Each structure stands twice: as C-alpha cells, then as structure tokens.
Amino acid sequence: MATIDLSTPPAPPASFLDGLPRRVALTLPELRRVAELAGGAPLPFDVAEVAPDADPAGLAARLGHGRASVEASAYEEAVASLHDPDDTLRRRGLLTDEGAEPGMVGAVGLLATPRLALDIDVAAGGTQVKAWHRCAQGAVATLSTCDGIVFELAWFAAGQWADELSRVTIIPDDVTSTTSAVPAALEAAYPLVDAVGEALRHGRIDLVPVLVARDAEDATVTVDGEPLSAAAATAALSALHTESRGRLRVLAAHVGRDSTDGIGVVSWLLLADGWHSITPHRDDDGGARVLVRRVEPSGLTVELAPVLAQVSA
C-alpha cells in the first residue's frame, strides 16, 4: 500500500500556474448541482452537519423559539434566497452547454471516491470551520465551509497536500496570544485530567487540589518526565481547562476498511500561547495517560504523517 509523504517537498512545477491549487467558491445549491453533474456523486457531509440545529433538545415546541431555532430558520431562509445554481454557474463560466468545468467535476467525484480521507473540525475564537480532504491516485480534493452556505472546493496534486494542511492551523486575528500556565510538555493520568475538568465545569474549584493530592503519591503529573509539586500540578491542570480558546480534530481513515484499524485521530487544543497537541497513551501498567505538548502550527503535517502511515498500512 502506497503512503503519502507529507514531509518531502514535491517536485518543482513546470510553471507558476501548475504549482497552484485550483480553488472555487460554491454556494450549497451550486455544490449540489455540480455533484449531480458528476454522476450524482454523494457529498462528504449531511446538511445537518453544517446547518444550525433547529431543536437540539426537542424542547422548542414547549419552551418557545430559542437561539438555536432562530439560527436554523435564518440558515434555511439564506439558502432559499440563493439564485438558481445553473444561472449562477453559467454567469461565472463554470457551466456551459458542454457541461461543467472538468476539474471542478473531477474534484467532486474524488470527494466521493477516495482512498484516504480526512475529516477536519476547527474552532478558534468565534470561528468554526469544517473541512473534508480526500486523496486517491496522487490527487487531492478538499471542501471546506464555516457557515454551511458557501463552500470552498479545491483540487491539487498530493505533493501539495502539506501546504494545504498548513492553512488549517492558522489562528484567527481576533485570537491574541499570551503566556500560558500550561507547561510545554505536560503529562498526567487521563482520569485526573477528566476529573479536574468536571470539577471546574461545575464551579467546584475547591475540589481541584483535593483531586491532585489524592494522586500525588503516584506522581501522575509530570513535565518532561519530572513530577510536579501539588501546587504546580493544580495550577497546570486548571489552566489546561480554563485557557482553552479553541480546538482542532482530524479524523483520518482508509476508505473501504471495515475495522477500526484504518482510523486515526489527531487532536489539538488552542491555549493562551497557541496550539498544544493532545496525545493519549498507556503506561507500563496499562493506565490511561495523556501528553499535552506545545506545537507549532506547521507541525500538523508532522503529526499526521504517522497517522496516515498507520491507516494506510
């Protein structure tokens, strides 16, 4: 099974234009129309994934219209107000009597028939972006949206995938960077991290030192392998939850496999000083632990490379 190398630079393009990914913005009706023209290719998402949930708790009928139902209604109205996709695609030169732009149709077709698939969900500040990256036979197609109404469709050679992935981790301008109280390489028992988060979510700050002290004898909180004092561990674990400004999750899969062996996950957390990777693992006794490590935005391809190698093996 061939693997995708995200660390080796691609061969130089024959021309400047050959080295650029092709991109086109499409409204939801336009995207659906292109999918029809691509032989009825299924899109990599359900509308429910990108549209606001009108009634997530099933309570609107009894409690009146809340924020979620208002947002869902606004979304439906916005989609309904869009122009006929055939007209808008023709005005933009993306559809002629001979058919739709071939590269665009091929990209939508690739989205439906990949060998490797990445589902990406990024939230930072007030922005949330969902993206779908699909790869097969040396080509990649991507689809992304932040509102479920306008989508960016792109297609390019697999050698340019690393550059495209670097766009995923760009921190929005409205998110400022400050000093973090979380060490650069913090490791702790997962049950402790989870319990601290639960206590903070319920406003029980007083329980955090108690939880840390209970596990202090096992030295479950370390930095670069060295155990932290109870006070330092309390501060670090509290900051891990309270500093959170966003998160990134990438689900990688080898399409066509029936088992979970072909699935891998990369998770990052956006803290005060930037991105930190979240890596679960087991200690020698089989206990669940988690390593929280500061990473550069460009490091996403480095973390994805072994995951893609694993799901492709």
Q: Which of 83, 54, 48 is nearest to 68 (CA)?
A: 54
Give me the mean pLDDT over the 75-101 stretch. 90
Whole-angstrom distance, CA of residue 257 vs CA of residue 57 = 34
Of the chain, the percentage scoring pLDDT greater than 70 comes to 85
Beta bridge partners of 119: 132, 251
Q: In which band, very low, low, confident or very high, does the pLDDT at 133 lie, cut at 50, 70 and 90?
A: very high
Q: In which band, very low, low, confident or very high, does the pLDDT at 126 lie, cut at 50, 70 and 90?
A: confident
Give me the mean pLDDT over the 19-46 stretch. 92
Whole-angstrom distance, CA of residue 276 vs CA of residue 141 = 27
Domains in the chain: boundaries: 19-166, 185-312
Q: Which of 154, 111, 150 is nearest to 134 (CA)?
A: 111
Q: Which of 68, 145, 124, 115 is nearest to 249 (CA)?
A: 124
Q: What pLDDT does 1 receive?
A: 34
For residue 73, what are its two tokens? 């209604």
pTM of the predicted model as reported, rounded to 2 decimal places: 0.84
Q: Mean pLDDT in the chain? A: 85
Of the chain, the percentage scoring pLDDT greater than 90 comes to 58
Give me the mean pLDDT over the 34-43 stretch. 94
DSSP string over 141-208: EEEEESSSSEEEEEEEEGGGHHHHHHTTTPPPTTS-----SS-TEEEEEHHHHHHHHHHHHTT-TTHH
Residues 110-124: pLDDT tens digits?
999 999 999 999 999
Which range is least confidently modeled, 46-50, 99-103, 179-183, 293-297? 46-50
Q: Residue 16: is its pLDDT beyond 70?
A: no
* CA distances (Å), origin 217, targets 213, 228, 235: 8, 11, 18
Q: Which of 265, 276, 256 is nearest to 307 (CA)?
A: 265
Number of H helices, E strands in the chain: 11, 14
Q: In which band, very low, low, confident or very high, does the pLDDT at 76 lie, cut at 50, 70 and 90?
A: confident
| Residue scoring higher pLDDT (170 or 76) | 170
Q: What pLDDT does 219 receive?
A: 62
Whole-angstrom distance, CA of residue 158 vs CA of residue 2 = 12
Which range is least confidently modeled, 71-75, 99-103, 298-302? 71-75
DSSP 299: G
Q: What pLDDT does 80 receive?
A: 85
